[in-house]
A and B are shown apart, each in its own frame.
Chain A
């Protein structure tokens, strides 16, 4: 079994991703033909548009698709670390903080030059992170306040710059407004190269430093004590985060980038218990949401892409939340229900045992009316329970369907339950000094969850006693193996309170 620090399983995931990247990257090789702009596409029919999207005939559509896949991978990978390090709101703050950098980057070249914008935005993002740290360390302001301040202040500066840019000649055609909610259709080849580069960098660094990132995320103090430079890895992660945010800005928009970082990763978080798988799933969910968002944006006549990608990711999250096989709400409900049904079944078995016992096991069958009376319920309910037991092969019914008899399996389980109950009662009264009115209710709960190992321990502890505090016989191993109830002779049978109980054990 591989330890969590051994990236053996992860390596295989990483090769897969690298292969994918190479395939995707080959699409973005420059071609001599002139690029078609999305606005040139005049098909109005939805089906036609869909077909056009998937056949990837147009360069700009291809860019849109590749761009969304790439950003899905990079956001997914970074997001996985954000979620486990509880930095979701830091990413929200940073993604708003980059806005002034975008504006300044634009101003530097007066065009929507992706590289200028990338540099400007990254600087703004890192500055924002620095200010958060500064406020935290020099004032008594709390974490949420510092994050909120940077988010608000930087964003406001960005908004002012954006509105000022709009006043400039050529400003309103800057395309900067697309940075708010994202428009994947506006991605150019340079944007794709940038995205590809960032994603590649993220994949490489995570591949190389997997165990360091894992340990510093899980237990930073231990990591430090083991000599790892925790701070450096933290800053490295922040840098990669900034890159991912900035590269994805144009496709998803400033406000919703945080969502693309957090939501696919949170879905992965709910579906797996291993970090390697979480990274993998997170990247896959990111890619799917990205592609779906891009698709619907195109089909819907260039609706902003960001919101659509986020909604796709949210659908995945809701599915994981409710239907995740291990942690999903539905799965837990189902387990709870099976558990309740099992307990119900065992209680019926116990009731049948008790009825037979009260007759010293002379009669082998229990009628519906007896059962209903013993459990204080209606005939219908008793019948339903017996039927359920029959389905599980624990009893058989007589021809007239009025009485039932234990099968060997049913007898075994009934003995075990009764034994557990009585052993536990004995333990509580003798060894644990419990008040007598607790003991029975307690045993009602415990009898269903006592494992065999624990039963052996109890038997040893109680020195293999024969009778419970009320003097009733505790079924032994021999009884269980006997395959069915056997009538007890009068000396051995002890009913309710009949005969003196044995000396209580210490």
Chain B
């Protein structure tokens, strides 16, 4: 057991990455932060629509889309990837709704059935392909990715300018597009998430927005897939957004907090992974979870302190009648 945790060498864990290993560190941390920011922003809307576990479902079923696209087109280029992801994302949601509407199976079971089946088919295809010949995706990668591989990738170029590793550049583009879309369509996203009935009564096509969000989700997840894998993508969707929602009641503030959370988790997570010599993406999520727990306990403590302070004040004077009641 004592061999498990390597000794903590401050120089090696905290300093070296920023000096000798700088280039690798930059790309890895940047990738982690971008994944966290993109997933976190979409995750906020998933949480508001209570669709966190649909996000979980899509992150798993995307594997099938990827492997099918790869097998059909025989190449693993970006366009092919995106196509596979998009189709599997839409197919998953369509299947869930089909099962739910056409039978008495409830929505939670429908979600579970849809994504596990698609995922199972995907894993089997991957394993069969693995034994049959060399394949771009491997089974372990599916689960937790290997974010460290970004530094080995061929760089993406714009003309003669080397931008950086391909997947990082891709992720950056996806993140920027997502940010632009959220800013542009902010009010539509808010109203369809908050009061779908009113939105529909005003003539908005709520179904379209729903599927649009699913498409964006699929594209973000597929871009993150190789680095963090299926299940950790789910973590990135949920944990940063929960951090933001725990600390703020205002959506714009939540989005900013989510992004900060993603950046901090990426940096600290990388250090943790260097120290423990473990999965980098896993470490990033662990740090992120600890940040949420800190926020959780912090808000509980703050509430308790606030409560004891106001109780102390109340013993001095009468409570006015017109104080609004807190919604419980």
Contact = CB atoms under 8 A, between A and B. Distances in A.
A301 interface: yes
Interface in B201-222: none
B208 to A, nearest CB: 23
B157 to A, nearest CB: 33
Contact of A148 (B56, B123, B246, B300): B56
A263 B99 CA distance: 12
A493 interface: no
A86 B106 contact: yes
B78 interface: no
A51 interface: no
B9 interface: no
Interface residues of B, number: 62
Interface string A171-192: 0000001001100000000000
Contact of A255 (B50, B231, B299): B231
Given A89-B108, A144-B51, A270-B105, A149 B289 contact: yes
Nearest to A156: B285
Interface string A213-248: 000000000000000000000000000000000000
Interface in B110-138: 111-113, 116-117, 119-121, 123-124, 127-128, 131
B113 A263 contact: yes
Contact of B238 (A145, A310, A321, A329): A145
Given A153-B289, A161-B278, A181-B123, A270 B104 contact: yes
Nearest to A293: B120
B23 interface: no
Contact of A92 (B1, B112, B292): B112
B199 interface: no
B231 A139 contact: no
Contact of B103 (A300, A308, A321): A321
Contacts of A145: 47, 52, 238, 242, 245
Across chains A and B, which 6 residue pairs bring their CB atoms closest together, nearest first? A152-B235, A259-B116, A156-B285, A153-B289, A307-B120, A159-B282
A314 B113 contact: yes
A449 interface: no
B235 A155 contact: yes
A307 B121 contact: yes
A77 B20 CA distance: 57
Contact of B300 (A138, A142, A157, A165): A138
A147 B109 CA distance: 15
Contacts of A139: 246, 296, 299-300
Contacts of A143: 50
Interface in A107-152: 107, 135, 138-145, 147-149, 151-152
A263 B116 contact: yes
Given A88-B111, A160-B278, A310-B117, A148 B234 contact: yes
Contacts of B120: 256, 259, 306-308, 310-311, 314
Given A152-B285, A321-B103, A159 B232 contact: yes
Contacts of B117: 259, 263, 310-311, 314
A353 interface: no
A262 interface: yes
A50 interface: no
Interface in A376-409: none
Interface string A75-115: 00000000100111101100010000000000100000000
B182 interface: no
Most chain A Cβ neighbours within 10 Å, of B99, B111, B143: B143
B47 A307 contact: no
Contacts of B55: 148
Given A159-B282, A181-B123, A256-B119, A148 B238 contact: yes
A338 interface: no
A358 interface: no
A2 to B, nearest CB: 23
A428 interface: no
Contacts of A262: 109, 112-113, 116
Contact of B231 (A96, A167, A259): A96
Contacts of A89: 53, 108, 111-112
Contact of B105 (A141, A152, A266): A266
Interface in B140-162: 140, 143-144
Nearest to A142: B50
Interface in B177-225: none
A141 B292 CA distance: 12
B38 interface: no
